[in-house]
Amino acid sequence: MAETDRVIIVGAGHGGGAVAATLRQYGFKGTIMVIGTEPLAPYQRPPLSKAWLKGEADAASLALRPPAFYAKANIDLRLATTVTAIDTGAKTVATDTGDTFGYDWLILATGARARRLPIPGMELAGVLELRSAADADQLKAALGPGKRLAVVGGGYIGLEAAASATALGATVTVIERENRVLARVASVELSEAYQVAHRRRGVVIELSAQVAALEGVDGRITGVRLGDGRLIACDVALVGVGAVANIELAQAAGITCDLGITVDLAARTSDPSVFAIGDCTWRPLPHYGRDFRLESVPNALEQARQAAASICGRALAAPEVPWFWSDQFDLKLQIVGLNFGATHTVVRGDPATESFAVFHMTDDNHLRAVEAVNMADAFMAGRLLIAKDRKLAPAQICDMSVAMKDLTV
């Protein structure tokens, strides 16, 4: 790292904002430019489907840092600007504003975008997705007492939006193609508990339901047509069927990509001057011996620290066990680990009480993942136990008289 080093960060989201701040925290003295398509300074997305959507948090509280931070930290924020090309030979980026900027280090933090459904009616007014603050503004404006919301896709964002919309007095139907919600990302036990919890609070959930088309009158959505011919009438539809990594820019520059931009544990891409962090990356999972794409704030922050440490010549921290959280109604879900290699589950607590945890174990009882609902100690214990690759006795996990803390010593 030299005082004249120039860092350019592409994407002013959670990862982009965090890596700029972390570089300064680690003592980086060169120039930092953050270029982002969105008109807003880096902000947090998690509240968009939770506290913010319910009106419990204001827009200012979404900001990753207060507005004055960037000038004070000498970080050059270029908002409402998109990077259109990278020249890794000349070490420059070109923007849609017609500028070309040179870099010594480039950090790609381009995130992911909402997957679009190839069905008729996606262009109707009132068909929304939820990825950005602008999307969330539209959704919030469309909700309220008596409004009918159809959520296409029973993933985390869809279910969180369903819970928040219910709190706002809207009537919500969740339409899921698989035979359970959270099918791609959670265990059967967790899916079932969330189906019960949502239905108990008035959300209608349609499972194994194909969406044939979105139907409208005068260009505005009026309902979701299912494969079996039924129509779910609605005033607004939220399509939340997963996200696709923004890798095209890197691909066009000849940087190696898989389902994301391929990086190592230092967040470095196939080009030694280029790093990538966050939702856009295809990254190693050292605890699981494989590569994967993660979509979570902790992942973006871990990789932000990796990239900043690499640039500043600092030692890298030990790899974290991936983790995630989701807040729906008064259910506080914390997940640690991934269930790769797990063959059976052990449940602690009773799902009917909405306080329980699902432990995912290998054949020989090594812990791989914990899904904890209103049971923070199971989550915290899981974090330690997975990092240490410890074996656990299933009988002890189930035994509520054994404190979680005692299992970690």
Partner 1 sequence: MPHVTFIEHNGTAHTVEAVIGKSLMEAAVDNSVPGIDADCGGACACATCHVFVAPEWEAKTGTRNEAEVAMLNFAAEVKPNSRLSCQIEITAAHDGLVVHMPDGQH
Positions in the binding site for partner 1 (CB under 8 A): 21, 24-25, 44, 46-47, 61, 65-66, 69, 72-73, 297-298, 301, 317, 320, 323, 325, 327, 332, 334, 374-377, 380-381, 383-384, 405, 408
Q: Pick the closer one to ligand FAD by CB: 44 or 362.
A: 44
Residue 238 within binding range of ligand FAD, rule CB under 6 A: no
Q: Please report where in the chains the tokens 């008289």 appear, as a residue.
A: 401
CB of 400 to partner 1, least distance (A): 14
The torsion angle over the Cα atoms of residues 221, 227, 229 and 230, rounded to 10 degrees, is -60
Among 28, 91, 121, 131, binds ligand FAD (CB under 6 A): 131
Q: Is 191 within 8 Å of 184 (Cβ atoms)?
A: no
- Among the candidate windows 8-16, 194-202, 339-347, 377-385, which touches ligand FAD by CB under 6 A? 8-16
- How far is it, in rounded angstroms, from Cα 22 to Cα 17? 9
Among 26, 178, 270, 325, binds ligand FAD (CB under 6 A): 325
Q: Which residues pair with 174 in a beta bridge?
A: 151, 205
Give the one entry of ligand FAD, partner 1, none that residue 247 binds, where binding means its C-beta sits below a cut-off of 5 to 8 angstroms depending on kind: none
Give the one entry of partner 1, ligand FAD, none that residue 73 binds, where binding means its C-beta sits below a cut-off of 5 to 8 angstroms depending on kind: partner 1
CA proximity to 35, closest of 1, 75, 92, 81? 81
Give the one entry of partner 1, ligand FAD, none that residue 317 binds, where binding means its C-beta sits below a cut-off of 5 to 8 angstroms depending on kind: partner 1
Among 7, 8, 9, 16, binds ligand FAD (CB under 6 A): 16
Q: Which amino acid is at 213?
A: A
List the helix and strand counts (H, then E) for the chain.
10, 26
Q: Are strands 6-10 and 105-108 parallel, antiparallel or unpaired?
A: parallel
CA proximity to 238, closest of 370, 350, 168, 135? 135
Residues 6+ apart with CB under 8 A from 301: 14, 15, 18
CB of 302 to partner 1, least distance (A): 9
DSSP for 90-157, written as a single string = TTEEEETTS-EEE-SEEEE---EEEPPP-STTTTSBTEE--SSHHHHHHHHHH-STT-EEEEE--SHH
Give the one entry of ligand FAD, partner 1, none that residue 307 binds, where binding means its C-beta sits below a cut-off of 5 to 8 angstroms depending on kind: none
Among 14, 225, 287, 360, binds ligand FAD (CB under 6 A): 14
Q: In a 3-state reduction of DSSP, which class is residue 267?
A: coil
Among 295, 302, 354, 371, binds ligand FAD (CB under 6 A): 295
- Among the candidate windows 32-40, 202-210, 338-346, 370-378, which touches ligand FAD by CB under 6 A? 32-40
- How far is it, in rounded angstroms, from Cα 160 to Cα 359? 23
CB of 406 to ligand FAD, least distance (A): 29
- How far is it, in rounded angstroms, from Cα 171 to Cα 151? 11
- Among the candidate windows 230-238, 293-301, 341-349, 387-395, which touches ligand FAD by CB under 6 A? 293-301
CB of 24 to ligand FAD, least distance (A): 17
Among 1, 23, 83, 174, binds ligand FAD (CB under 6 A): 83
Residues 6+ apart with CB under 8 A from 353: none
CA proximity to 335, closest of 191, 158, 161? 191
Residue 305 within binding range of ligand FAD, rule CB under 6 A: no
CB of 403 to partner 1, least distance (A): 9
Chain positions contacting ligand FAD, by CB under 6 A: 10-16, 35-38, 45-46, 48-49, 82-83, 109-111, 130-131, 157, 246, 249, 278-280, 295-298, 300, 324-326
